[in-house]
């Protein structure tokens, strides 16, 4: 369905999805997504993109399926894969684990952590104080990386003491790191951390 000027009534939802995930707390966009879901799925389907909606976790995103290597005329990639370094991957796994524990305790729907909370989580992987201190000093880098890909959102900033900065852990992290992947990465990170500490 289109408006008088030819623009579809759900164009704003499509644009938001191209920009990143839509969350259920964006009530207007979420409502329109639910109303026009079939039309939006059809639109993206025509260009080889899947619309994935997680009702349980309250987010929707678009995913470009991996094409077979022998497929003729493969489509260009809309979304480029981002390679995360060790520190960013470690932080991502720690946050995913903390969200899992938060959900088990049923303390609410949104997980908020201060930078101090994040540091305490990192301590489990680093026994040597020198390694912890180095990571703490550079903690802004992996935090910024996860903010850039929408995993973290700064909700309170303290310009005097960064330990008081507060972040929301966005539930899109569950799509990026599922339970099986979580366990796999944790084993690799633990092995890597042990290697670092034995040097």
Over residues 131-169, the pLDDT tens digits come to: 566 666 678 888 998 998 889 999 999 988 888 999 999
- 71 lies in some domain: no
- Whole-number pLDDT of residue 4: 42
Question: Are 92 and 151 part of one and the same domain?
Answer: yes
Whether residue 79 is predicted with pLDDT greater than 70 in this model: the reply is no
Do 26 and 118 sit in the same domain of this protein? no
d(CA 137, CA 122): 13
Q: Is the pLDDT of residue 15 over 60?
A: yes
Q: Could you give the CA distance from residue 152 to residue 130 in angstroms, rounded to a whole number?
A: 26
- 103 with 159, same domain: the answer is yes
Query: 176 near 151, Cβ under 8 Å?
Result: yes
Question: What residues make up the domain containing 125?
Answer: 86-198
Whether residues 97 and 190 share a domain: the answer is: yes
| 73 within some domain | no
Q: State the average pLDDT over residues 170-189.
A: 76
| Burial environment of residue 131 by CB neighbours within 10 A (0 to 12, 13 to 18, 19 or more) | middle
In the sheet that 166-169 helps form, which strands lie side by side, from edge to edge?
Answer: 111-114, 166-169, 152-156
Are 55 and 96 in a shared domain?
no
In three-state secondary structure terms, 78 is: coil
Answer whether 95's CB lies under 8 Å from 172's CB.
Answer: no
The pair of three-digit structure tokens given for residue 144, joined into one six-digit string: 């910024």
96 in the same domain as 59: no
Task: Say whether both 139 and 59 belong to one domain.
Answer: no
Residue 134 and residue 91 in one domain: yes
pLDDT band of 5, cuts 50, 70, 90: very low
The answer to the question of residue 168 being in a domain is yes
Spatial contact of 13 and 28, defined as CB atoms under 8 Å apart? no
Residues 100 and 165 both lie in one domain: yes
Q: Which of 145, 98, 151 is nearest to 123 (CA)?
A: 98
Q: What is the pTM of this model?
A: 0.72
Q: Give 89's contacts (C-beta < 8 A, 6+ positions apart).
A: 185, 189
- The verdict on 59 and 93 lying in the same domain is no
Domain count, the chain: 2
Q: Half-sphere exposure of residue 128, counting CA atoms within 13 Å on the CB side?
A: 11
């Amino acid at each position: 369905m289109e408006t008088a000027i030819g623009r579809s009534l759900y164009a704003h939802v499509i644009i938001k999805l191209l920009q990143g995930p839509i969350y259920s707390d964006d009530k207007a966009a979420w409502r329109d997504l639910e109303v026009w879901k079939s039309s939006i799925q059809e639109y993206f389907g025509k260009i080889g993109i899947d619309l994935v909606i997680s009702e349980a976790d309250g987010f929707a995103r678009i995913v470009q399926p991996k094409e077979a290597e022998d497929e003729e005329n493969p489509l260009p990639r809309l979304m480029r894969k981002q390679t995360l370094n060790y520190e960013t991957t470690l932080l991502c796994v720690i946050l995913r684990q903390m969200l899992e524990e938060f959900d088990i305790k049923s303390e609410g729907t949104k997980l908020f952590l201060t930078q101090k909370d994040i540091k305490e989580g990192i301590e489990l992987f680093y026994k040597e104080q020198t390694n912890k201190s180095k990571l703490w000093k550079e903690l802004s880098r992996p935090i910024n990386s996860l903010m850039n890909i929408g995993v973290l959102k700064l909700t309170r900033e303290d310009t005097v003491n960064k330990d008081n900065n507060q972040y929301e852990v966005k539930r899109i992290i569950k799509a990026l790191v599922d339970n099986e992947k979580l366990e796999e990465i944790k084993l690799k990170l633990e092995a890597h951390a042990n290697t670092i500490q034995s040097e």
